[in-house]
Homo-oligomer: A and B are copies of this chain.
């Protein structure tokens, strides 16, 4: 079987999946996300405002959960595969909040594959990246599209 970093389009099947390691989201992560992005929405950074909102306390930025999820996926994948390039995201949703102290992990699953209509030596793989917390609730759902070289094209 092909090593992870030598896989081609053909080596991925719809339904293939893996689960990443987990990471606890801390108040530090929330503050650092605000600092790094410059997004100080009061839902994430103003405790008095947050008390007046449905969740009653500060929550992580959805994008904080998202970028930390990409880091968890990176950890699981080891060395980069030169046959695969990021193409973009087609959907991002944050269906439930993440609080400081929650621990998240990501299930990655191939949900679609298509030969590229204009570049037939490549295909588009769509993988769902579903981030859940320690209670099994989905806190982020992402559809990530990868541009993968077809094996035949490499000969």
What's the least CB distance linking A52 to chain B, in Å? 10
Tell whether A49 pairs with B74 under 8 Å between CB atoms, given A27-B27, A29-B36, A67-B33: no
Kindly state the interface size class of chain A when it binds its partner. 35 or more
Instruction: Report the Cα distance A64→B126, complex, angstroms.
Output: 21
Chain B hits for A28, CB < 8 A: 26-28, 31-32
B88 near A39 (CB under 8 angstroms)? no
Q: Tell whether, in the assembled complex, residue A22 and residue B38 are in contact, meaning their CB atoms are under 8 Å apart.
A: no
Judge whether A21 is part of the interface by a CB distance below 8 angstroms. yes
> Is A134 located at the chain interface by the 8 A CB criterion?
yes
Q: Can you add 16 more A-B contacts, CB < 8 Å, to A22-B49, A39-B70, A43-B80?
A: A21-B40, A22-B42, A23-B38, A24-B58, A26-B28, A28-B32, A32-B32, A32-B35, A35-B35, A36-B68, A37-B74, A38-B38, A38-B40, A47-B101, A89-B89, A89-B92
Could you list which residues of chain A lie within 8 angstroms of chain B, going by C-beta atoms? 21-24, 26-29, 31-33, 35-43, 45-49, 58, 62-63, 66-68, 70-72, 74-76, 78-80, 86-94, 101, 103, 134
